A and B are shown apart, each in its own frame.
Chain A
Amino acid sequence: MGTASDIKLIDENGLRIDGRSPTELRPLKIETDVLDRADGSAYIEWGGNKILVAVYGPREAYPKHTQDIDKAVIKARYNMSAFSVDERKRPGPDRRSVEISKVISEALQAAVMVEQFPRAQIDVFIEVLQADAGTRIAGLTASSVALASAGIPMRDLVVGCAAGKVDGKIVLDLGKEEDNFGQADLPMGILARSGKIVLMQMDGDLTEDEFNQATELIMDATRRIYEIQREALAGKYRAMAIERGGE
């Protein structure tokens, strides 16, 4: 976590620096099929995050030695564009994005029925156009929507969500200042219906009790995020049916 500072992140009314309550998510919006070429795609706005996800595949894995005879390999590539942060970010993978790509790939692999696609790979390209805080969980949330829209069989949708500690209090979905000056961050990826944990990282300082509070907030918010994912996928098909009926 970031360095200590004198900035007060929670005011006397218990509200956060952006006016949210401790259990409130930042504004969240997801759209599907935003790219024409990809087999599936999604766009997510979550707080100040703007992230695009494109899915290609399943397709035969190349080079051939990367093929798994029993299942498909999921290759997520998390990438921050040069203009996504205040100072220009040098293009290309750094150690942070390599690690994030790995944990997102593993989380998605837990949900996708990879055993149906021997020798194949499924590419998930995550492009962070504008980064606020929580880009990995926003990217994960959008990735699972993009995979579903590509018609890839999955056990469940994956929801990404984080909680953290700010001014000694456990709060949901850290914003940028909270991420920079807070005391802990706990991003998680959860299978929406079963509650199974497929991604988890944590840094900072939490007691066991605080961890339990944080996961309670996350599990509760998972339901809300899941509804937004479902609506992003199904909404336009319903809208089309209504439009047709209006003729």
Chain B
Amino acid sequence: MPKDEAGVLSEIKRNYILRKLKEGQRGDGRTLTAFREISITTNYIPRSAGSAYVKLGRTKVVAGIKVESGEPFPDTPNQGVLTTNVELLPMAFPTFEAGPPNEGSIEIARVVDRGIRESKMIDLESLVIEPGKKVWIIFADIDVIDFDGNLIDACTLAVVSALRSAIVPGSKEGSKDFQLPVRSLPISVTMVKIGDEIVADPDLEEEQLSTARVTVTTTEDGHIRAMQKGDTGFFTLDEIRKAIKISSNTGKQIREKYFQ
């Protein structure tokens, strides 16, 4: 990507996108609620317990699952542990810097984690080796390798896909290896507000033009499992209601198209 694209959007581009939006169209021809093309490759890293390489338009992320035995948290002695971490790699964008996670990557990881956790996707109670002493710990790590907007949804898709393909190494603890038990299929849909319009799956240019962001994660039953508003603008209550509807419809479409 040319360096100048990493900074502020040019006036010409800005006006073009805004004009298109007024006609109900996106700069790249999408409708307001349409996602970019999604591609999911599972078992991308065979050495991990489960993995997925996800492309969401030009945004690319790799999720890898590692499963290790360890101690449970004291307040949940009879549950396995899930931890999610996102690395914004310097290779993904000119202004990303190496180093400890910043507030941006922490927020993404926590929103992704919340969506999966609250959807009860993983049956953590089935991940106990020795009650109160030893449980399976699921590490979900995500490398962001190419950035063109909407990391929350790309990362959720990647972790969900990787978890669905993950094998727990039970043989290391005296039993058999087994497929990680999953019970639901959470899909997050992130939308931003540009002017008065709500658009789903924003690319980087749209993110730069937007004033506020909202993520709604739903499960197959259409229930809301996690939400997060971000950025310094605002939403009206009607806009949030609309966003919830968009998320549950789009979530359904994504499940049908990519997870059958």
Residues of chain A at the chain B interface (Cβ within 8 Å) = 1, 3, 95-96, 98-99, 101-103, 106, 109-110, 186, 191, 195-208, 211-212, 215, 219
- The answer to whether A201 touches B227, judged by C-beta atoms less than 8 angstroms apart, is yes
Of the residues A98, A205, A219, contact of B223 by C-beta under 8 Å = A205
Complex CA–CA separation, A101 to B110 (angstroms): 13
Rounded to whole Å, the gap between the CB of A194 and the closest CB of chain B is 8
Complex CA–CA separation, A205 to B219 (angstroms): 9
Complex CA–CA separation, A219 to B236 (angstroms): 12
Extra inter-chain contacts (16) besides given A109-B232, A208-B244, CB under 8 Å: A3-B79, A99-B107, A101-B103, A106-B232, A110-B234, A197-B229, A199-B229, A200-B228, A202-B224, A202-B227, A202-B228, A203-B226, A205-B118, A206-B224, A208-B224, A208-B241
Complex CA–CA separation, A162 to B19 (angstroms): 38
- The answer to whether B106 touches A200, judged by C-beta atoms less than 8 angstroms apart, is no
A-side contacts of B241, CB under 8 Å: 208, 211-212
Complex CA–CA separation, A102 to B232 (angstroms): 10
Complex CA–CA separation, A207 to B241 (angstroms): 12
Does B222 interact with chain A (Cβ within 8 Å)? yes
- The answer to whether A202 touches B240, judged by C-beta atoms less than 8 angstroms apart, is no
Complex CA–CA separation, A198 to B237 (angstroms): 10
Complex CA–CA separation, A103 to B234 (angstroms): 12
Does B225 interact with chain A (Cβ within 8 Å)? yes
Given contacts A99-B106, A208-B244, contact A197 B234 (CB under 8 A): yes
Would you give the 0/1 interface string for B110-122, flagging 1 where the beta carbon is closer than 8 Å to chain A?
1000100110000
Given contacts A200-B240, A204-B118, contact A110 B110 (CB under 8 A): no
- The answer to whether B224 touches A195, judged by C-beta atoms less than 8 angstroms apart, is no
**How big is the B interface, by class?**
20 to 34
B-side contacts of A196, CB under 8 Å: 234-236
A-side contacts of B189, CB under 8 Å: none
Residues of chain B at the chain A interface (Cβ within 8 Å) = 76, 79, 101, 103, 106-107, 109-110, 114, 117-118, 214, 222-237, 240-241, 244-245, 248
Given contacts A106-B231, A196-B234, contact A211 B106 (CB under 8 A): no
A-B contact pairs, 30 of them (CB 8 A): A3-B76, A95-B109, A95-B110, A98-B106, A98-B107, A102-B106, A102-B230, A103-B228, A106-B230, A106-B231, A110-B234, A186-B227, A195-B236, A196-B236, A197-B229, A197-B234, A197-B236, A200-B227, A200-B240, A201-B228, A201-B229, A203-B118, A205-B118, A205-B225, A206-B223, A208-B241, A211-B241, A211-B244, A215-B240, A219-B237
A-side contacts of B106, CB under 8 Å: 95, 98-99, 102
- The answer to whether B248 touches A208, judged by C-beta atoms less than 8 angstroms apart, is yes
A-side contacts of B232, CB under 8 Å: 106, 109-110
Of the residues A98, A212, A219, contact of B103 by C-beta under 8 Å = A98
Complex CA–CA separation, A212 to B235 (angstroms): 15
From B76, B103, B222, B248, name the one whose CB has the most chain A CB atoms within 10 angstroms. B103
- The answer to whether A202 touches B237, judged by C-beta atoms less than 8 angstroms apart, is no
B-side contacts of A208, CB under 8 Å: 222, 224, 241, 244-245, 248
A-side contacts of B234, CB under 8 Å: 110, 191, 196-198
B-side contacts of A191, CB under 8 Å: 234
Given contacts A3-B76, A204-B225, A211-B224, contact A197 B237 (CB under 8 A): yes
Complex CA–CA separation, A212 to B241 (angstroms): 8
Complex CA–CA separation, A102 to B110 (angstroms): 12
A-side contacts of B117, CB under 8 Å: 203
Complex CA–CA separation, A201 to B118 (angstroms): 13
B-side contacts of A99, CB under 8 Å: 103, 106-107, 110
Q: Which residue of A lies closest to B224 (CB)?
A: A206
Complex CA–CA separation, A241 to B214 (angstroms): 46
Q: Which residue of B lies closest to A188 (CB)?
A: B229
A-side contacts of B244, CB under 8 Å: 208, 211
Given contacts A1-B118, A3-B76, A211-B244, contact A200 B226 (CB under 8 A): no
B-side contacts of A200, CB under 8 Å: 214, 227-229, 235, 240
